[in-house]
Structure formats: C-alpha cells, structure tokens
Amino acid sequence: MVRVWRDGTVVRIETEKYFAAVQTEGYVSGVMARSFVDKQTGSKDLGFGLVIVDFLLEPRMDDESTPEHLRYSWGDKIHGNIPKRFVELPQICTQARKLPFEIFEGKNFVAVKQWFNWTIARPPYKPGSRWEQLLVFPDRVRWFLAYDKVTSVNTVDCLLLRMDMPGHIRHQSGDSFRQVYLSYHGFIPASAFIEDFAPDERFLYRREDGKVPEKFIRAYQLRNGVWLAGMALHPPTVYEAWCHQRGYVCLIQEVGGWKVQAGESFGAVHLIGYFDDVDEMERVFETFKGARELQVSANEWKLK
C-alpha cells in the first residue's frame, strides 16, 4: 500500500511502513520536519526536516571583490575556522519560499521532484544554476531515497552543495536522543553535545584529510532505541561533514568538491530511514552501495 495526496501546500505520503510529507511552500526542500513517522514504533525525526538543502559554495576566502552582503562568515562556533565563500544563493530552505514540484505514482512507490534556480551570485560568478531533488518513497521498507543534482552555469574549481544529512537534532541537554553514530568515527554519546562547539573542534570529516570510508553513514539513536540514519551511497561524493553542537546538533554535509565546467552537473544519492541497529544499516548500505544517480519511470525506480 502506498498513496499520495495534496494537503494545501503539503504533499503527504503514506506507505505500509511510514508516513512522510514534502512542504512546497515556506521552509522547503527535503522531507518536512516531524513528518517522517515510523509506523512500527511511532518514531519521528527530531530536527528541522530531512535532506534539507542550502546553497552553493567553494572552499576559498572572500576578498575585496566580495560585496559585504555576500560574505560568508566564519571563525566562530557556527562555521568554525573553515574558510568558504558563496558561489550562488539564496539558501533554498529558508528563502526560496515556494518550489515547483511533480508527483509520480508508480508500482509500489511514490516520487516527488522539486527544483530551483539560484538567483544571486557572488562575483565573478553569475546566477542561474539549477538544483533538482528527486525523493522516492518505496513501499514495504522503512526508508526513502533522495537524489540531489546541480547543473552549474559557472565553471568552478571546487563546487560544493550544502545540505543537512540526515537532519539536525533538536534537544535540551541531550534529552531527545541517546547517541550519534558516524561510520567514519564511531559512537558519540548525547552527553558530548551539552555545550556548543565549532564544527572543526570535534568529529569533522574532510575527504581531503585521508582515506574515504567504505561506508558513509550518519545516524542518531532515539530514546526508544530506534535509529534514524542517512547514508551517502557513493562515499566519495561527500566532501565535508559536520557533527557539532550549536544549540542543536548540526549535521551539515557538503557534496561535490570537484571542478565543474559551465553546463556540467554533479549530484549525490542518499538513503534515509529507520533501523533497529547499525548492522541493519550496513546491510542496507551494502545492497545499494555505489549508486550515483536515481531515476523514475512509470513503473519503477532505478539506481545507477
């Protein structure tokens, strides 16, 4: 059983295993906050949404050519000592305000596609790059798939797309979750996130720092023992990943980080869902590892 329906500006999905919703106006992109509900346990996500998308950046410092209102702030607890500068804006989740969308109803799945063209660029770049997100909600499993694709109108030496993966964790002194699991680090108790700290102080992943992990999984365990995980099915697509405290546990992730010519595209496929334990996460990852693209047709969804 899988069904989809419109509820005002929200697209609602129900499968045999979960509920989910996609908000097309307001705080947009990804799956709406607190809407991803596991029928088996009643579990809900804890943050501001899942697979939420921001903007395009590059790992360079602003200079005198950058207008003041387009400068990227860093050197604080929010962004750490990690110099970046914007390529294109605005932040989609908070400032796009309304996204066009398509709904696909296939055999044993529903899919929702959304897109946006950035309207602001930091000189010398021009605006107009296109972001597309395809969300696929299969029946009879406790997870969904997300494919985010960027087609750039600029040539950029190291282009990054920033998103939340799987999503941030709202809490008061660690009251809403037990622990975090990062496949490239290990287990981190909720007590590690009582005081704010910058992303480069602890638990920072950078692709350039060393070997890419065989599995790229980021998850948090709810108080009832259930895990909510997000996994990059092709680990080399992840350039940088944060896990730090800034009033909430911030799980920012950046994908891409390669030279992109004007007219070229890059993207990443993620799987997000509920799991009973880390072993189950790893088994699912192994089933779909290496996927770089997600496609849908009238009858099926397919990873490539």
Domain residue limits, the chain? 2-294
219-239 average pLDDT score: 98
Predicted confidence at residue 210, as pLDDT, reads 79
Q: In CATH, what is the architecture of 2-294? A: Distorted Sandwich (2.70)
Torsion angle (degrees, nearest 10) of CA 30, 36, 38, 44: 120
223-249 average pLDDT score: 98
DSSP state of 60: S
**From CA 1, how far away is CA 297, in angstroms rounded?**
19
- pTM, rounded to two decimals: 0.98
Q: pLDDT (tens digit, 9 = 90+) per residue, 135-181?
A: 999 999 999 999 999 999 999 999 999 999 999 999 999 999 999 99
The neighbour count for residue 197, using CB atoms within 10 Å, is 16
Q: pLDDT (tens digit, 9 = 90+) per residue, 266-283?
A: 999 999 999 999 999 999
Is residue 94 classed as helix, strand or coil in its secondary structure?
helix
